[in-house]
Structure 1
Amino acid sequence: MASIYKRGKTWTANVSIMQDKKRIRKTMSGFLTKRDATSWANDIEVQKQNDVLVIQDPVFTTAFEEWYLIFKEPQLETSTKQWYKRTLSLLQEKWANKKMSEIASKDFQKLINDYGSNHVLSSVSHIKNITSAFVRYALDEDMVKKDFTRNVKTHSVVKSKDKQLKFLEVEDMEKLIHSVKNNDAVTSKMILTAVYSGMRFSEVAGLTRSDFDFDNNIISVNKSWQIHDQKFKDTKTQTSNRDLTMPQVYMDIAKKWHFGKTFAFESENGTPPTDNAANKQLKRYLEKNNSKIITFHGLRHTHASYLLANDVAIQFVSERLGHADVNITLSTYAHLLNKKRTEETDKMLSLLNKV
């Protein structure tokens, strides 16, 4: 039976429940009216009768951190870890001591709206997706009775950088290849490899001599090197494990390279150069060629953009990049696909106008 009573200026309700064959009290305080307290107690009684009552009710951020450390942290790349930590920091700031049962859709929508007021949409989406993944886990573990993130919409008032800034056009890509192909610097070899393969930096850094099959012109991507952790790890996703068929022109150049003892691209200290070193080398080449400045990751976009612009199927490009889902490729390169769609529309109209 429920107990409703006033404590100071607010009302408190508690309901008797059974947990591990012991009778305990589930309590909620802070109601402004007796009616609100009674309504909550009645809802708990209904959940008891329907056997859907969530008994455990941990602090949201405590449960989130435990989930991250056990299920996520061991498998994640360093850059992805930072997003989980950033999400946890935001949740701790906004919901410091909130219990799982105290959070509703409107609370999460407000958090997303506030975050979107000074962050770009891609950042807002990261926060929402990571939180949603945890809530789905909490739902399976009976920590919450419903997914309060499901109907929340991402929103941002901050414009993202123009995606055109993130990859090289064909002329600049050709200039870069010409500049690096005969340079013996380790970072130059890594740049050339990224242009021809579309690999992530961690994948290029993780290559070993045995990953190069010169008889069949294939590079095997089966691990990544995490600079900050200084160790090999699995690739970003299962689909990131892939065999890349490489052009003969690249393999002929690579055959002449001297590979390191442990890594294909090994600096003097016995490990691959850092992404910072590779970015600095790339910037020097681009400035010398009067090209737009992009990061090493932009070489991955350059590779994919070049293929898509030349009518290579989106499904093939997605597999080559190691994306978990073709929709990731579609969303990432929507700007290019829209341009191609316009070209195809003009082609269609030209054909039909001749009929």
Structure 2
Amino acid sequence: MASFTKRGKTWQYTVSRMVNGKSDPIRKGGYATKKEAQVAASEIESQLQKGITPHLKAEPFDRYFEEWLKVFKPNISGNTRARYLNSLETIKETFSGVPIQNITKRIYQAFLNEYAKTRSKETARKINTHIRACVRDAIDEGILHVDFTRGVVLTGAVPPKREEEKHLSLFESKRLLNHFKQPTALSHYLILLGLTSGLRFGELVGLTRKDFNFKTNELNVDKQWGYTKKMKQGFGPTKNEQSVRKIKLDGNTMKLFKELFNRSPDNIYGLVFFTQTSKYKVLCNTAVNKVLKKTLTNMNIQPISAHGLRHTHASILLYKRASIYYVSERLGHSDIETTNSYYAHIIKELRDQDDKIAISTFEELVG
């Protein structure tokens, strides 16, 4: 039962509560009218009835997100961490000092609309993903009771890259692999493996000879190597715990690497893509991109980046009807939602094909 007291020009509520057999009432004042105090008290009583401990302390969104990053994301890798820190800076610019409890769905949608005016839809999606994860943990902690990110609409003013610029077709992939059937440079091996494994660049340059199991044709992925100034130098953890995995490789790829190991010297790190002259001791992402661009251009194929090899790998598997769950696990995605969002265009195309199969199948049965 709540009681209400007028203190000067404002109203205060007191909600009765017992904690460990002792009276521990909840009080809060500063309401302009008694009605406002009654509404607030009613919400507190409703939470208590549901077994929820009310969180009355205002939590500035920027501070909460920063603390959340330290507590819930302590092991994220360099590039991923940099993206989260960019999100933090954006939150500081817009919501500095604003309690997370005061942010409504309307306020958040307005923020996303403004943010997307100078960015692509994909960029808007990334910051929304970061904030949504934070908000859901705030709900679990009892700080929030409503997910203000649920059902928001994502837009973007800057056109994203066309999908065909991000990955190769099946026919183009076959041509590229045939081109590198007899690789002559270390970058050729990396491009080949990037296409046949779908690994991230940091995972590729973090591979050691011990990660290749030539008896089972398996590749062990449990670390990455820092190849930019934003990343921790040397070996580091994978992007997330789901990225620790073992994947099967085709026999041709494994044979090429077995031959490479037999005829080339090892190094103190055991790295497959070790380069003594490189600042980071491994093949440079920029250099690999240049080799890949030149190769594809000479083949009259629209160039893609080294990361595009990963998209190509996933796209081919999906078009070949590999399970979305298998593809997600093979890529080391944190969850199935990530895979669905990245390859929604392919999934929709396959769904359209499934519709045609379903219709034709039952038309035949009826006929």
Give the TM-score band, short-chain normalised: 0.7 to 0.9
Q: Tell me the SS of whatever aligns to 2:225.
A: strand
The alpha carbon displacement at 1:109 in A equals 1.8
Relative to structure 1, the CA distance from residue 168 to residue 25 in structure 2 (aligned partners, 3 Å threshold; closer, same or farther) is same
Percentage identity across paired residues of the two chains: 28
- The residue that corresponds to 1:162 in the other structure is 162
Which of these residues, 271, 276, 296, is aligned with residue 268 of structure 1? 276
Check if 1:221 corresponds to 2:229. Answer: no
Contact 1:207–1:221 under 8 Å retained in 2? yes
Q: What aligned pairs does 1:1-355 form with structure 2 within 5 A after superposition?
A: 1-3=4-6, 26=28, 34-35=32-33, 38-47=34-43, 49=45, 51=48, 52-72=53-73, 74-144=74-144, 146-158=145-157, 159-227=159-227, 228-257=231-260, 258=264, 259-262=266-269, 263-269=271-277, 271-343=281-353, 352=363
The alpha carbon displacement at 1:221 in A equals 1.2
Return the alpha-carbon distance in structure 2 between the equivalents of residues 288 and 328 of structure 1: 34
Return the alpha-carbon distance in structure 2 between the equivalents of residues 112 and 134 of structure 1: 16
Q: Tell me the SS of whatever aligns to 1:219.
A: strand
Relative to structure 1, the CA distance from residue 2 to residue 115 in structure 2 (aligned partners, 3 Å threshold; closer, same or farther) is farther
Letter of the 1:82 partner, please give it: A
Contact 1:212–1:219 under 8 Å retained in 2? yes
The alpha carbon displacement at 1:261 in A equals 3.3
Contact 2:116–2:156 under 8 Å retained in 1? yes
The alpha carbon displacement at 1:278 in A equals 2.0
Q: Tell me the SS of whatever aligns to 1:255.
A: helix
Contact 1:128–1:154 under 8 Å retained in 2? no
Relative to structure 1, the CA distance from residue 126 to residue 23 in structure 2 (aligned partners, 3 Å threshold; closer, same or farther) is same
Return the alpha-carbon distance in structure 1 between the equivalents of residues 357 and 308 of structure 2: 30
Contact 1:221–1:241 under 8 Å retained in 2? yes
Letter of the 1:266 partner, please give it: F
Return the alpha-carbon distance in structure 2 between the equivalents of residues 53 and 353 of structure 1: 61
Letter of the 2:313 partner, please give it: H
Letter of the 1:229 partner, please give it: K
Return the alpha-carbon distance in structure 1 between the equivalents of residues 352 and 44 of structure 2: 58
Letter of the 1:60 partner, please give it: F
Q: Tell me the SS of whatever aligns to 2:315.
A: helix
The alpha carbon displacement at 1:28 in A equals 5.2
Contact 1:108–1:152 under 8 Å retained in 2? no
Deviations 1:82-130 (A, max 9, x none): 3212221222111122123332222112112222333222222222221
Letter of the 2:240 partner, please give it: T
Q: Tell me the SS of whatever aligns to 2:246.
A: strand
RMSD: 3.3
Letter of the 1:318 partner, please give it: S
The alpha carbon displacement at 1:150 in A equals 4.5
Relative to structure 1, the CA distance from residue 208 to residue 148 in structure 2 (aligned partners, 3 Å threshold; closer, same or farther) is same
Return the alpha-carbon distance in structure 2 between the equivalents of residues 100 and 13 of structure 1: 24
The alpha carbon displacement at 1:267 in A equals 0.8
Gaps of 5+ in 1: 7-11
Deviations 1:36-86 (A, max 9, x none): xx44433344455554542322322112112212321x3112222232122
Letter of the 1:261 partner, please give it: I
The alpha carbon displacement at 1:241 in A equals 2.0
* Number of residue-to-residue matches in the alignment: 342
Contact 1:108–1:148 under 8 Å retained in 2? no
Contact 1:124–1:156 under 8 Å retained in 2? yes
The alpha carbon displacement at 1:208 in A equals 0.7
Relative to structure 1, the CA distance from residue 192 to residue 99 in structure 2 (aligned partners, 3 Å threshold; closer, same or farther) is same
Return the alpha-carbon distance in structure 2 between the equivalents of residues 155 and 291 of structure 1: 32
Contact 2:76–2:240 under 8 Å retained in 1? no
Letter of the 2:295 partner, please give it: Y
Gaps of 5+ in 2: none
The alpha carbon displacement at 1:347 in A equals 5.8
The alpha carbon displacement at 1:298 in A equals 0.7
